[in-house]
Structure 1
């Protein structure tokens, strides 16, 4: 029997459906609805059967991934080995190989980007959850609560060791989106038939940790909030909270201690100087506001010209912060002119260079623009 020619182009209707699937899987990644436990459990059974395994004898629900981590941290012999590499890894490899045999490589890659783009908000949330990953001694979150810096090396080690033999979250299954699109819109039902269980789990639960005889599942977050740039953020409370009570406070994608959000009056020049984490230090200055930080003497005047004033603060080591102060040319109702403080790279040498940077221009190009206007 002659093989079908690979699909190389989409019709107008098929192209239009990409947006619908993108929206659907964005909603799945960000869902805060309570899990449909019956549907999720049926999906787990289907996923096990799809790789030739008997469904687990025990399905245990937890109210969040942190509770799940604690409950399933040391599975017993009766729970059996971790089987995520089969019901997720194996199914993914086999299905994608079949789909790619039917869709041109370039088109398939484009479909994946359209339906399952990088989602900064969810990535931030996942990173936050990963910080609760425990080792034999001290958890990353414990280090954070003691205001100790968490190194990238340690974070990556914990991340990868955790992912190899632990829970799989709703954000880890969004690769299913392009597969569902191929199934329902392009008609590749046989090629994607084995994914029906995982599709059901992704749409109805938050996390799962599958073992041979026991599968732990967890609820979705009860709260997930971000800013206009899709970063985990809330200026008045936790940006991420699970039903088990575990919460994360974040400012523009950076996890911060609770007090920075809930008690901003505690942010002082001394507190900022004592903070060793560069990103959190930036957050503290933003919450205090650059205007007040400079007014309190936090930064020194470096340069001034007709465009504004450049301010800078240098800490021992390699860290520095800078902002350019500019004046709004349009007067307020009372005749005064508002001053704005724009954070800029600390490498800026003049106010003109800093202001030009905020427009994405070189100083010479910005000078020409100002001269023409």
Structure 2
């Protein structure tokens, strides 16, 4: 396993890590930064529980946040060292080869967790702003994987302790007197593009019940996923929220919806059949139906439904668009 593969695995790890290893690394990170060790290390089951613990009236005295000394300063020093050795072009190439792709995957999850914590914590605008500031105190643990994959993390190197902690925990909050560590999620589900995605329950869940629901990256209410199991064409047609209606159509299947909604073809030629679904408050869904000319092993020919731009007017133009061509350029020798 390469270093990048290892950090990709860490970024998506679920279940509890080794608390003994994590706590020892936390204390060592304070010592490396020239700070006194925290008086206590406290665990939470999720970032939401950590925030509630820190916001509670009975919260322990924390002292000042030391994130700058423990994370930002050593990370900036490592970045400057690598940049100085490789130069601007070399550093850019190094980043593309190490952390860039992983950054894109983790950044969206981090944003969703922050938004989910603020929403779940509730309160008025003043309280929500206070929670936003509190979330900025957090070191992201496993979700710092992109940066940690790009720099030195071996024993003795500046980011070694940060890497050990990230391998065992989720987000954590470092203060002078206390460090609050949250466990990793218990569930994580993504689609092939790396987006949070689950039609059967939470896409991201923690042991305390804090959970995020999503369909192909789009946040959805938990009860909405329950409704997907009893969908009908009429229910889809009457949904007023355009974004949720798109999710319904994807889950239900465009071909099934076309069949059950009584849609009619608007154009037909030798390349296929063009269908249009008119939706209130949203752009029309236009699909081209094509039949694979290469038979399946059982001798049947499979039908495919391809979504095309809403201004498509002919089946040929729709098929051509899927190949990045104009209708007048599309002249297949053999249609597949």
Q: Aligning the two structures, in what range does the TM-score lie when normalised by the shorter sequence? A: 0.7 to 0.9
Summarize the Cα distance change of 1:345–1:158 in structure 2 as closer, same or farther, 3 Å threshold: farther
Q: Aligned-pair distance for 1:271?
A: 3.5
TM-score norm. by structure 1 comes to: 0.75
Summarize the Cα distance change of 1:136–1:288 in structure 2 as closer, same or farther, 3 Å threshold: closer
Alignment partner for residue 30 of structure 2, among 24, 41, 48?
48
Alignment partner for residue 313 of structure 2, among 338, 349, 352?
349
Summarize the Cα distance change of 1:274–1:126 in structure 2 as closer, same or farther, 3 Å threshold: farther
1:210 aligns with 2:174: yes
**Aligned counterparts, 1:51-66, within 5 A:** 51-66=33-48
1:313 aligns with 2:277: yes
2:263 and 2:6 map into 1 onto residues whose CA distance is 47
Residue 134 (structure 1) aligns with: 118
TM-score norm. by structure 2 comes to: 0.83
Q: Aligned-pair distance for 1:209?
A: 1.5
2:120 and 2:112 map into 1 onto residues whose CA distance is 19
Alignment partner for residue 171 of structure 1, among 136, 140, 143?
143
1:339 aligns with 2:322: no
Q: Show CA shifts across 1:177-213 (max 9, x none).
A: 1112xx65xxxx8xx7322221211112111022222
Q: Aligned-pair distance for 1:228?
A: 2.7
Q: Aligned-pair distance for 1:175?
A: 0.3
Summarize the Cα distance change of 1:228–1:337 in structure 2 as closer, same or farther, 3 Å threshold: same
Q: Which runs of 5+ in 1 are unaligned?
A: 1-18, 141-156
1:137 and 1:35 map into 2 onto residues whose CA distance is 25
**Aligned counterparts, 1:171-250, within 5 A:** 171-180=143-152, 193-250=157-214
Asked if the contact 1:133/1:158 (under 8 Å) is kept, the reply is no
DSSP-derived class of the 1:174 partner: helix
Summarize the Cα distance change of 1:173–1:229 in structure 2 as closer, same or farther, 3 Å threshold: closer
Q: Which runs of 5+ in 2 are unaligned?
A: none
Asked if the contact 2:277/2:285 (under 8 Å) is kept, the reply is yes
Asked if the contact 2:118/2:131 (under 8 Å) is kept, the reply is no
Residue 30 (structure 1) aligns with: 12
Q: Show CA shifts across 1:303-355 (max 9, x none).
A: 33222222233444453322222223245688764432222232323222221
Summarize the Cα distance change of 1:161–1:30 in structure 2 as closer, same or farther, 3 Å threshold: same
Summarize the Cα distance change of 1:38–1:322 in structure 2 as closer, same or farther, 3 Å threshold: same
Summarize the Cα distance change of 1:22–1:137 in structure 2 as closer, same or farther, 3 Å threshold: closer
1:198 and 1:282 map into 2 onto residues whose CA distance is 41
Summarize the Cα distance change of 1:172–1:281 in structure 2 as closer, same or farther, 3 Å threshold: farther
Q: Aligned-pair distance for 1:102?
A: 2.6
Summarize the Cα distance change of 1:123–1:300 in structure 2 as closer, same or farther, 3 Å threshold: farther
Asked if the contact 2:48/2:121 (under 8 Å) is kept, the reply is no
Q: Aligned-pair distance for 1:20?
A: 0.9
Asked if the contact 1:133/1:162 (under 8 Å) is kept, the reply is no
Q: Show CA shifts across 1:114-158 (max 9, x none).
A: 121324554443343223232798479xxxxxxxxxxxxxxxx99
Alignment partner for residue 67 of structure 1, among 49, 72, 83?
49
Asked if the contact 2:197/2:217 (under 8 Å) is kept, the reply is yes
Measured on the aligned residues, the alpha-carbon RMSD in Å equals 3.4
1:246 and 1:137 map into 2 onto residues whose CA distance is 10
Alignment partner for residue 82 of structure 1, among 41, 55, 65?
65
1:91 aligns with 2:74: yes
Summarize the Cα distance change of 1:204–1:371 in structure 2 as closer, same or farther, 3 Å threshold: closer
2:224 and 2:120 map into 1 onto residues whose CA distance is 29
1:286 and 1:372 map into 2 onto residues whose CA distance is 26
1:241 and 1:64 map into 2 onto residues whose CA distance is 9
